[in-house]
Chains A and B, each alone.
Chain A
């Protein structure tokens, strides 16, 4: 049934694009149609994955958690004052961009790779990176394959359709001059099932995805992720092109979380830091400057993000590290601690 649903969604979204009045617009001025609509509706319309542990995953009672979900919660905290005022729309890889451009959602936080053609070609704007990822391979431990150099002609590889993974896989096997059999499924659950059954010899996707999906295998200990990373996958939130105020709100909501970690501001100490000596911290908790006014928000927008959602480090620890997906932060560590997380200053 999922496939039919996908069809409907894509078709319906296209129809929306066809039929709805001239929306969007509003560039240049401080007026943001998306912001106005969000305030009127009382919730942030956020597109997430159909279930990727650590990034966006719904529990049994329908509560969404993950670092992608936290981006949406941050925006809701900044704009509406309550991080819980988010309406989540689970989207397949295929549906996600159409859902965003047609206005069904206003923020897409769905482990989406930032690429030139996506940014420039199809009416989208990437606002930042909330997870630096790279594509890897998973194989069975007993296969005797210890590196991508052990791959030989005739290997079959399972993956998802409609992702950069499919393209990277081809580039990789072509560069190694290996003939391979690509088997691409629409949904991650089917990829896992097919790989688990033995339909393919290797499963390739973003390494964080591999780590998360491994937990879904019938026997996770039988599988391992190869050490090589074959691509750059900067994952980040996306907004529609043409509403620069909304774009700034989402960008700086994410930046606030990262900057808060850099200055040691977290959900428990934020309000007590209002009379800190450090002006940067004072700006973060809204005790100095008029930063919110730049996009039509009050001055406590960033304080609410930190108090209600937490800083990036807290979010990472809660969703990615403590769940055992990727305990080591690797490149997703602050630049001051040997990682590459570096955001422009909030001033």
Chain B
């Protein structure tokens, strides 16, 4: 009895020893590098520390989602860069997914022309280096867009020029009430869907869930406009003369061309990979599944929604997660075209002004790591949700 127990523990210990050695080795390597860096920096008179994050940044940034000017700290500049990185990544992921799905499905189309166009799209955009595409979209767009005085005018509401796309600014009163009403609508939709599922499973009744959800999303905010003093006005952009021949737009919000070019390039490029994933996913569902679904009387839409997609998604999601991660990391190429992302603002300007290379590069690397891991965790959760549930 005792001997057996000892044996088991002995085995456990045996298994633990190599792991412990690995960890110890890893830690000593890290400590070695850290100490070495400290000594080298000490020798060269370079101070180490993160105090600079509180110092005044004293440089301005073109485009920021939060209040910022040069009188804020380097820490705040970091936040501005981070938010800009997240913004372009989110926009990029959104459009890359839409374009990717459309192209992926088109490649399987029975229409020869559509299938060929989709194939050419994939082959062209997948095989040109991303940085060239970014330069292409940026400088091609810059050359093609008109100066402010000849702006492309959308009904006097919005203007597209070389200096950016000017759109009206939303000016809200009681925005918080409006926001809560949306939240409330989303929660209600969740309950409506739950109720509808129960009805279907227990009584076999089909409720018009989509229409109900849609109405909820419209009616709740509408009520706040009518009865709770929520209102929305617009601040329209207008042309302003700076000198006899120099014009710009004032008022409204400017979406800078750097953001547009970067978002277009990132989504067009990443979409090709997502399209291939989608194609693989759909082809990966065996023909028998579709035939079986048809034989029990499901129509074409139902087959796609209930039988093909749930199985295809299991194949699509893991590689698409990789593409989302790639897109986020590729957004660091922004620096080339002056989009103020974290690399340009923090690992660029802030690094130069403070000279704190090691601190800033480590912070930037940690930030990308955190961003990537967050996306991974979310996509893994979604993947699990989509996986086959054995009942």
Q: Do A and B bind each other?
A: yes
Which positions in A face B, CB cutoff 8 Å?
1-4, 6-7, 10-11, 13-14, 17-25, 93-94, 97-98, 101, 117-118, 121-123, 140, 142-145, 150-156, 158, 161-163, 166-167, 169-171, 174, 180-187, 190, 193-194, 197-201, 240-242
Q: When the two chains form their complex, are residues B242 and A18 in contact, meaning their CB atoms are under 8 A apart? A: no
Nearest to B139 among chain A residues (CB) is A193
Contact with A along B342-368 (1 / 0, CB 8 A): 011001110111111110010000000
Q: Which residues of the partner chain A approach B39 to less than 8 Å between Cβ atoms?
A: 22
A190 to B336, CA, bound (A): 8
Q: Which residues of the partner chain B approach A169 to less than 8 Å between Cβ atoms?
A: 60
Q: Which residues of the partner chain A approach B147 to less than 8 Å between Cβ atoms?
A: 198
Stretch of B105-113, B187-195, B244-252 that contacts chain A: B244-252
Which positions in B face A, CB cutoff 8 Å?
33, 36-37, 39-41, 43-47, 58-62, 70, 129, 131, 139, 142-143, 147, 162-163, 240, 242-246, 248-250, 257-258, 332-333, 335-338, 340, 343-344, 347-349, 351-358, 361
Q: When the two chains form their complex, are residues B243 and A144 in contact, meaning their CB atoms are under 8 A apart? A: yes
A26 to B357, CA, bound (A): 24
B252 to chain A, nearest CB (A): 12
Q: Which residues of the partner chain B approach A18 to less than 8 Å between Cβ atoms?
A: 33, 36-37, 40, 358
B353 to chain A, nearest CB (A): 7
Could you write out 7 A-B pairs with CB less than 8 Å apart?
A3-B332, A7-B343, A17-B357, A166-B59, A181-B163, A185-B337, A187-B336
Among B44, B248, B354: residue with most chain A CB under 10 A: B44
Q: Which residues of the partner chain B approach A143 to less than 8 Å between Cβ atoms?
A: 243-246
Among A2, A154, A166: residue with most chain B CB under 10 A: A154
A153 to B344, CA, bound (A): 25
- A-B pairs with lowest CB-CB distance, top 7: A162-B352, A122-B355, A144-B244, A197-B142, A123-B44, A18-B37, A123-B46
Q: When the two chains form their complex, are residues B240 and A14 in contact, meaning their CB atoms are under 8 A apart? A: no
Nearest to A166 among chain B residues (CB) is B59
A140 to B333, CA, bound (A): 30
Q: Which of B244, B349, B358 contacts A161 (CB 8 A)?
A: B349
Supposing A144-B243, A162-B353 touch, asked if A156 and B248 sit within 8 A by C-beta, the answer is yes
A159 to B220, CA, bound (A): 48
Q: Which residues of the partner chain A approach B61 to less than 8 Å between Cβ atoms?
A: 182
B233 to chain A, nearest CB (A): 22
Supposing A94-B351, A144-B243, A170-B60 touch, asked if A14 and B357 sit within 8 A by C-beta, the answer is yes
B71 to chain A, nearest CB (A): 9
Supposing A3-B343, A140-B245 touch, asked if A240 and B44 sit within 8 A by C-beta, the answer is yes
Q: Which of B33, B248, B337, B348 contacts A19 (CB 8 A)?
A: B33
A151 to B246, CA, bound (A): 10
A186 to B143, CA, bound (A): 20
Q: When the two chains form their complex, are residues A198 and B352 in contact, meaning their CB atoms are under 8 A apart? A: no
Q: When the two chains form their complex, are residues A167 and B246 in contact, meaning their CB atoms are under 8 A apart? A: no
B287 to chain A, nearest CB (A): 44
A6 to chain B, nearest CB (A): 8
Nearest to A145 among chain B residues (CB) is B243
Q: A17-B40, A154-B248, A186-B344 are in contact. List 9 more A-B contacts (CB 8 A).
A: A3-B131, A3-B335, A17-B357, A24-B43, A123-B41, A156-B163, A161-B344, A186-B348, A193-B139
Nearest to B58 among chain A residues (CB) is A167
A143 to B246, CA, bound (A): 6
Supposing A170-B59, A199-B163 touch, asked if A183 and B36 sit within 8 A by C-beta, the answer is no
